Structure 1
Amino acid sequence: MVQSFRFRFARWVMQHRGATAIVFALITAFFAAGLPKVELKTIFSDLLPKDDPFVQVFKDHPNFGNPLTVIVMVKRKDGTIYNVDTLAKVWKLTRDIDLIPGVDHDQIISIATEKARYAEATPLGIDMRPLMGDRVPTSEAEVADFRSRVDRSPNAHVFLVSNDSTATVINATFIEDRLDYGEAFERLQDLAAKARDEHTEIHIAGSPTLTGWVYHLQKQTFKIFGVTLAALILALALYMRNVVGVVTPIVTSAVAAIWGFGLTGWLKSPIEPLLMVVPLLLVARSFSHCVQFTERFYEIYWHVKDRRKAAEITMGVMMAPSILGIFTDIVGIFLIAVAPIPAMERFAIFCGFWCIWLIPTGVVLISLLLSALPAPKNVGRLTGKEGHSGVHEMFKNILGQIARLTHGGPAKVTTIVVAVISVASVYTALQIKIGNPVEGSNLLWHDSEYNTAVRMINSHFPGVDTLELILEAKDREDPLLRTSFEAKTVETALQLQLHMEQSEAPPRASLAFFDYMMEGNRLFSGGDPRWYPVDPTNRAVTAAATAVTIGTHLKNFSHVVDFRQKDSTVSFWYKDNKQETVDGALEAARAALEQIGVDHENFTVRLGSGTIALQHATNYVVERYHWGIIALLNLVIFLGTSFAYRSAVAGILLLFPVNLANFVLLSCMHLIGIGLDINSLMVCSIGVGVGIDYGIYLLSRICEEFHAHDGKWDKAIDASLTTTGKAIMFTASIMFVGIAPWYFLSALKFMADMGLLLTLTMLINMVLALIVLPLLVWLVKPSFVRRKDLLVGEGVDLSLFTESDDENGRVAMAGSVA
């Protein structure tokens, strides 16, 4: 009988094992040389969708509401901040923070900086002076004088000193290109530790601090990864109880990892630290494919009694289903790059190529190892030929019970149960919310130091999170045209403030350059509060602007107006960054712009920037691309599996349990309070690949067993579930054992949530693959199973390998193998 390409290739590899091993060694050495170049690094702008209009506004005006701002709150436990000791701490902290590498020296503000000013009317005009001057108050009289200055600075009393005067904040913005998150975090934590005492609390929030916590917890994360790998290896050892079953997955996965990380090193493409959970999942996926491969090797070795022959046959038998299964993983990861986020695009290339490397390592290298390592002595036990014991006996009994649910009379009841679960899951999954469901960050636990800091700052000040509406000049060239100092610009800013503050989702506070103008106008007009409003004329506005800026550098106002006075912003502070708050703020802003207008004679109002807008931009990517990515993944898998099984029915049968698993996963996320974000989108995409892997291996085995059992569907399902089903159950189980501890060990809630989601993904896909797929095969009885020319199948006539040495390479397709 004519050999298929798979078996000819397998025989060629076995005949040239030495040369093939040398090739693998050389390739591994090349990629290993790239490992020192691997860099774990967060690039903030690369975490933002590059096609989002809010991101474009942020990049055009980075000074306005820059999210790379650290907020340090100094709180007095037993009184107000108006004492020598606390003010000295604020003075020192401000200057020490200014010395941290990467800080924008023009964007640091506290009650101890020149940017915090108060206005005073003098015989010579309006005098704008720093609140604290060039030294710290050293006596009660000086402290009292300082307090009176703060009282004369309305903006300072809102944004820099709390209403109860027990707390003050230091805001420091970093320059992205110069920011080292790890170094900045360690310096800030060291300064905070030195400033804390029995009278003083220090709380630090802001995006750089959050990323710093991720960097800080990397060592713990790597330790947890070590625990996971140890658990996977221990589970393998307890299950396999032989050298080949333990060493093969370890070596194969390690080589694929070296190739994956090495390529990234050579490309000099930084890896986002938060996404390191996925490479560990790829190691687990490699283990999974190896277990499927090795289990099949045991069955074949039991018959042929020759490890080289068994490895050759196993490669030929498993090549197509293995490649097809890995192909679905590859597609699931590469499609993540559809989302226009640079960090995700780099991640897709990194992990996508890692998945590609699973094909040569998980098909060829594993076969070389199986042919070279000592033959296992407990194959009879592992295959059940000499009886089952321990975990093998348990799996066999469980799978026997599952098999009985999928055919015959019980299948009707199972069908009804699956239908009810399907309807309930789809309905519940569609209720899931997109975005951040908590105050602060969902990356860390509720009682973490960071989230506690966010709550403390939000409770004493207008908030950590802002929305910026930017008034951008149309004329970018004329240096004499100061659009920000025109009456129409000021009037529009005031209207925006009024509309937003009167909306259904009002901000806690707002700030524009006009607020400084009004204070200057009041003092210039004798100090009467009735003179706060500025006349709506260019002359009056220019006079008020000049009054507050004369004698000071314009960079002191760079948080509300640019240096050339062309662009300005209206900032709005909100109580938290929960998704409902974000949605309410943006809805109010759009309503205000609809009333006021976007396009004006000399300027355009652009929505928007700040943490509120940028958080929405990232979440909107999920809203735009989630179902699209899943649909594309379904399409590619449908085409691939339909081609492999030569039937569109096969594609539908495989995709139904996978998509049902996805809906069940989303339902579980909704019920336990996890929102849908870019990270969970990644898990959903990978989950589809995981489920399809299980389905492909099981359906291929059903095709084989159908012919081996003379066309009896129930016997084919029973045999498939107790063989390939056992490998599926084991791989899901060891991944559960390895990943589940994340939830209990990690200080990163993100990692704990990913562990929970990945665990749910594995278990849900395992259960539905073992129950729903055989059930559908029983109900549909697809005709493609009867065919003998399928591209994917696992059958082989082993007698040709045992009858004659002269015929030891001739493989007959037992029903389903082409």
Structure 2
Amino acid sequence: MTSLSTPHQDKATFLERLIFNNRPAVIVICLLVSVFLFWQATLIRPSTSFEKMIPLEHPFIEKMMEHRNDLANLGNTVRISVEATDGDIFSKEYMETLRQINDEVFYISGVDRSGLKSLWSPSVRWTEVTEEGFAGGEVIPQSYNGSQQSLDLLRNNVLKSGQVGRLVANDFKSSIVDIPLLESYPDPQDQGKLLALDYRKFSHELEDKIRNKFEAQNPNVKIHIVGFAKKVGDLIDGLVMVVMFFGVAFVITLILLYWFTNCMRSTVAVLSTTLVAVVWQLGLMHFFGFGLDPYSMLVPFLIFAIGISHGVQKINGIALQSSEAENALTAARRTFRQLFLPGMIAILADAVGFITLLIIDIGVIRELAIGASIGVAVIVFTNLILLPVAISYVGISKRAVERSKKDAHREHPFWRLLSNFASPKVAPISIALALIAFGGGLWYSQNLKIGDLDQGAPELRPDSRYNKDNSFIINNYSTSSDVLVVMVKTKSEGCSRYEAMAPIDELMWKMQNTEGVQSAISLVTVSKQMIKGMNEGNLKWETLSRNPDVLNNSIARADGLYNNNCSLAPVLVFLNDHKAETLDRAVHAVQDFAKENNKEGLEFILAAGNAGIEAATNEVIKRSELTILILVYICVATMCMITFRSWAATLCIVLPLVLTSVLGNALMAFMGIGVKVATLPVVALGVGIGVDYGIYIYSRLESFLRAGLPLQEAYYQTLKSTGKAVLFTGLCLAIGVCTWIFSAIKFQADMGLMLTFMLLWNMFGALWLLPALARFLIKPEKLAGQKGNSLFAH
């Protein structure tokens, strides 16, 4: 084994000697770990759950979970609208198709069969007032046989059922099958075992057993499906295309790496060790019991990008050292010694950025944070340790070494031009431009909204099938799929008392007159109709009675609108959409009403329903956004301070990142992208990854300043040695994530756009603004000739 000379061995750290004096053991250990984790990675599957997507510790969600057993069919539901494309629903063929769909859905795993509702459900009934009193029955009676007489009777029953606009479209051209879901259900093979709802499988069953099957059977029928489970299933299907984007990013990176290194051996080494990092990350995720949800599926991309970033720095350093070292091992050891610490600090900064996301009380974001933190941790082993060891064996081609040697000794007009950013004349202009950009970005980012800004599922493209289905249901039914549920809590058997029902009536009136609200229903709605019916249908009697017996009788048919002991009565508020402004108005209206009307024995509690969950999520995002940003910058600044032991150095590295964050918020406002579950992590990811550039540039700049060079010349030498790697890394990272922009999944496209912008701006900020700040903050004369106290000083 070739080794360093004695003087160099003396300079070597314990870690360096441990690694390079035992290279075969390092290779074997990494190989064994890779085999085990590759096997683990093959077992990982796309998975998510309803509860992982919501902020479980938010008061709204805590109340919803507390009363979930009392809120029949108001949680995780799917709605299937069966449209008659020729004629209306009152035909023998349509009703038979609807019956078959109802029966087929009944046997799909994960369906709460007791709550399944359609025109064929016995619980869907009609009521009318006759001379003898009330009459009623099932909407589709036992005597139904598909004859014209039966269909005419069905039409009359539907009109008397109160389901027009709810289960039946306003134009009578479609009807809905309402499907409540179970988060876990008994295994058909083993009743003692519970299976978690598989959203992707469930979504595929809806497609195969319902949409494809029945549209093929009956060309006059069209199926529309909406609901959380269907949306998540479509997201997972769309994200399977991530593999294709990963392949595209891999090929682009291969081409750019070869152009950068001019050496196939080092290109393959960087790509191989980075792929090992991705495999380790996926394997460890499965080993620790995590799956891949729609958000954490993006983490392997980030790990690949970060791994390439550090790999490029290593290869660039080894190529520079190879021109003076007698062999590949010596070059690898010297590069390891020079770059391990800045690389380690940069990776810790990445990890800190990810770990701050753990404060957000949403399972998918926390899993993204854990997955990304695991990923950057393995990069320490694969790209900071395994890569130099691998290069110490395979070496770098003579052509690459010769080119590196020429580059080190020749004049570079481009780098000389960029070094003017550190000149006394250009630096003030740069600072002024940065201040103008900062002020403009801060001003425009006031337009940034929290939450969704579009109807339907903003995670999907507007022209996606899901959003077209959602638009159909919104346009044809009076009750939208966006429901805010207010839980009215009373004493036992108290929900039917006038003292409770009168305030509920007032709340419904207030909500129906709130902008963005379509309608509201509760047990009061049924009570008024029944009281009117008990008084010969006279509209004058469509009001609440003060007689307790009358009220008790009037809510007898208000199924699902109060719990078993009449201590909880939900008010269902149907909204036009779930845009942030709509949710804010509705929530504030309820909160204002609750302040005035809450008292002992009567409490108006928010919130359930999908709109309630969205409102809670928006509040968590709004509360966490600034906290995360501050935490990320405190942690990154602390890391820089510990590393360089200089406030000036810390400001030089952190201030360009601050400018990028402000401009990123302005871009989101300009593009109409709200701050939500999908985009909030970008803040931490962008800062965490972007700090790498500043750390690598400043560590080299400081070493040249200590050598006695004036600032502009020191920056020119910095650019010659590491500028190319930084520029290449920024472009490579940006190209890798910009492929996401073409994804069918809109939130992935939004993340791709934002990360591309932030990565490029962070790179540009490090190259442009860092030296300008150094001109004002760093005193080169104080550093010249000093050994220094930074962690990078030797």
Q: Same fold (TM over 0.5)?
A: yes
The code of the aligned residue for 1:429 comes to: S
- State which drifts further: 291-300 or 191-200: 191-200
Query: Equivalents in 2 of 1:240, 1:485: separation in Å?
Result: 78
- Report what 2:29 is aligned to: 23
CA gap 1:220/1:655 in 2 versus in 1, 3 angstroms: same
| Matching residue of 1:337 | 358
2:437 to 411, 421, 424: 421
Alignment of 1:678-697 (within 5 A): 678-697=677-696
* 8 Å contact from structure 1 (residues 429, 670) kept in 2: yes
- Equivalent residue number for residue 98 of structure 2: 90
Aligned-partner residue type, residue 730 of structure 1: F
Conserved in 2, the CA contact under 8 Å of 1:469 and 1:569? yes
Q: Which amino acid aligns with 1:445?
A: R
Segment drifting more, 524-533 vs 349-358: 524-533
Q: Distance in 2 between matches of 1:212 and 1:563?
A: 34
Which residue pairs with 1:729 in the alignment? Answer: 727
> Which residue is 1:138 aligned to?
146
Tell me the distance in 1 between the aligned counterparts of 2:11 and 2:126.
83
| Residue identity in the other structure for 2:599 | D
**Cα distance change on mapping 1:616 and 1:785 into 2, 3 Å:** farther
Displacement of 1:438 after TM fit? 0.5
Farther off after superposition, 411-420 or 729-738 = 411-420
1:85/1:383 CA distance change after superposition, 3 Å: same
The one of 37, 59, 63 equivalent to 1:53 is 59
Asked whether the 8 Å contact 1:38–1:268 carries over to 2, the reply is no
CA contact (8 A) 1:653 1:776 kept: yes
Letter in 1 for 2:41: L
CA shift in 2, pair 1:326/1:496, >3 Å: same
**Partner residue of 1:484?**
495
Alpha carbons of structure 1 residues 719 and 608: separation in structure 2 relative to 1, 3 Å: same
Equivalent-residue separation in structure 2 for 1:612 and 1:732 (angstroms)? 40
Shift of 1:409: 2.0
- Distance in 1 separating the partners of 2:9 and 2:645: 20
Partners in 2 of 1:398 and 1:598 — Cα distance? 70
Would the alpha carbon gap of residues 514 and 619 (structure 1) be closer, same or farther in structure 2, given more than 3 Å must change? Answer: same
1:173 aligned to 2:180?
A: yes
Q: Residues 232 and 738 of structure 1 are in contact (CA less than 8 Å); yes or no, is this contact kept in structure 2?
A: yes
**CA 469–789 in structure 1, closer or farther in 2 if over 3 Å, else same:** same
Q: How do residues 761-776 of structure 1 correspond to structure 2 at under 5 angstroms?
A: 761-776=758-773
Q: Cα–Cα, structure 1 residues 386 and 569, in superposed 2: closer, same or farther, change >3 Å? A: closer
Shift of 1:397: 5.2
Q: Distance in 2 between matches of 1:135 and 1:625?
A: 59
TM superposition shift of 1:487: 2.8
Checking the alignment, whether the CA contact within 8 Å between 1:67 and 1:206 is kept in structure 2 is no
Change (3 A) 1:145 1:85: same
Give the direction of change, closer, same or farther, for the CA distance of 1:657–1:65 in structure 2 (3 Å limit): farther
2:122 to 99, 110, 114: 114
2:713 alignment counterpart: 715
Distance apart, 1:424 and its partner CA: 1.0
- Check conservation: 1:500, 1:592, Cα contact below 8 A: no
Aligned to 1:676: 675
Say if 2:604 is the partner of 1:598: no
TM-score, length-normalised on structure 2?
0.92
- Give me the TM-score of the superposition, normalised by structure 1: 0.89
* CA distance in 1 between partners of 2:651 and 2:44 (Å): 41
Partner of 1:195: 214
For the 8 Å contact 2:97–2:214, the answer to whether it is kept is: yes
- Which residue number corresponds to residue 529 of structure 2? 519
Cα displacement string for residues 623-674 of structure 1 (whole angstroms, at most 9, x for unaligned residues): 1111111111211222221121121221122110011111111111111111
Note if 1:375 corresponds to 2:391.
no
* Distance in 2 of aligned mates of 1:318 and 1:600: 67
Q: Which amino acid aligns with 1:497?
A: M
Q: Does 1:464 align with 2:481?
A: yes
Number of equivalent positions: 769
Q: Equivalent residue of 2:678, what SS?
A: helix
Alignment correspondent of 1:570: 571
* Residue type of the alignment partner of 2:721: T
How far apart are the structure 2 equivalents of 1:40 and 1:732?
A: 30
Aligned to 2:192: none
Measure the CA separation in 1 of the matches of 2:257 and 2:130. Answer: 82
Q: Which residue of 2 aligns with 1:553?
A: none
Shift of 1:763: 0.8
Higher deviation after alignment, 682-691 or 193-202: 193-202
Matching residue of 2:471: 455
Q: Is the 8 A contact 2:419 2:713 kept in 1?
A: no
What's the counterpart of residue 437 of structure 1? 453
Residue 41 of structure 1, aligned match among 36, 47, 63: 47
Match of 2:662 in 1: 663
Determine the structure 1 residue equivalent to 2:344.
323
- In structure 2, do the counterparts of structure 1 residues 271 and 490 end up closer, same or farther at CA, with 3 Å as the change threshold? same
- Separation in 2 of the partners of 1:29 and 1:345? 28
Mapped to 2, the partners of 1:718 and 1:407 lie a distance apart of 11
The Cα shift of 1:782 comes to 3.7
Match of 2:511 in 1: 500
How many Å apart are 1:463 and its aligned residue? 1.0
- Paired residue for 2:746? 749
Q: CA deviation at 1:198?
A: 4.8
- Which residue identity is paired with 1:511? I
Structure 2 unaligned runs (5+)? 1-6, 186-196
- Asked if 1:220 corresponds to 2:241, the answer is yes
**Which ranges in structure 1 are unaligned for 5 or more consecutive residues?**
475-480, 550-556, 794-816
What is residue 162 of structure 1 aligned with on the other side?
Answer: 169
Seq. identity, %? 23
In structure 2, how many angstroms separate the alpha carbons of the residues matched to 1:374 and 1:725? 23
Residue 313 (structure 1) aligned to one of 334, 338, 357: 334
C-alpha separation in 2, matches of 1:604 and 1:4: 75
> 1:256, 1:361 within 8 Å by CA — same for their partners in 2?
yes
Does the CA contact (< 8 Å) of 1:64 and 1:610 recur in 2?
no
CA contact (8 A) 1:77 1:200 kept: yes
Q: In the TM superposition, what whole-angstrom CA distance separates every residue of 1:173-222 from its partner, at most 9, and x where no partner exists?
A: 11112422122211222212233355333211111110010122243222
Identify which range, 570-579 or 634-643, moves more after superposition: 634-643
Q: Helix, strand or coil for the counterpart of 2:121?
A: coil
CA–CA separation in structure 2 for the residues paired with 1:386 and 1:287: 22
**1:463–1:573 contact (8 Å) kept in structure 2:** yes
Q: 2:653–2:691: 8 Å Cα contact kept in structure 1?
A: yes
Q: What code does the residue aligned with 1:495 have? A: E
Given that 2:660 and 2:758 are in contact with CA atoms closer than 8 Å, whether structure 1 keeps it comes out as yes
Checking the alignment, whether the CA contact within 8 Å between 1:36 and 1:265 is kept in structure 2 is no
Residue in 2 that maps onto 1:13? 19
Alpha-carbon distance between aligned partners in 1 of 2:338 and 2:462, rounded to the nearest angstrom = 51
